[in-house]
Structure 1
Amino acid sequence: MRRYLVLALLVAVCPLAFGQAYKWKDAQGVTHYSDSPPPAGTKVEKIKTSGVVIPPAGEPAPASTVAAKPAPAAPVADTPANRTKLCEQLRKNADTLSKEKVVSVDDGKGGSRVLDDAGRARQVETTQAQMTLYCK
């Protein structure tokens, strides 16, 4: 009985050891990994797999494409020194928003995007509100 169980396990796992994976970057510069080929015309790198990746308990199985997510920022202690640093950065941001013609911000995907007039107005409003709250 044990031999049949081992044989069945080997037959089930064998195709996974010879699997093919693909790595490519999309137009926004996000790196994708997939077991199916990317859209036609995309520069692709084939990756040979050597086994199976099992997600940790409690996490859903990964989708066919995976984008890296940055780690969440650790909380910062509310000390006078940290408030001073924050206020200095907020003043620099306000200065940049008021003087520079073109301002880019992080797009949350590892790249940046240029602020339009409405985006700039929202950033100015947010910066002023933060300065009122933290820089007394």
Structure 2
Amino acid sequence: MKHPMPALLILLGLAIAPVAAQQVYSWTDANGTKHFSDMPPPPNTASAQRLNVRSGVTTTQAVEEPAAEGEPAAGSGPAMAAAAGYSDADIKRNCAAAQKNLERYEAAKPAEDEEAEVQTRYQEGLSKVQSQIKLFCG
């Protein structure tokens, strides 16, 4: 090699690039929304935090304590539905409706030799019902 300097500079640049990409900022805005970005937060952000991300997944989230008996967990479907504005009666009614819909879907499962489009529509509907059960029933 006549000119090892360009190759050395390229290797150095490749070694530095991942280090620069691993700096992440975290902050909560005035509306309570948590933000993560590789760009610094706006000036005068009180809850700004600089995270140094190494390999793997980094989290600053605290471990959640299990919910008390009879009380839905903070991240559970019914708790999320309640936070979205559903009343307890609506949540129970929607849970019962979603369970009935699941029974209907399971009873109307298409045969394996049905067309692919029929199978796809069935799977999409089934997924929707299962997500409703997860949201309203837990």
TM-score w.r.t. the length of structure 1 is 0.32
Q: Kindly indicate which of the two structures has a greater share of residues assigned to strand.
A: 1
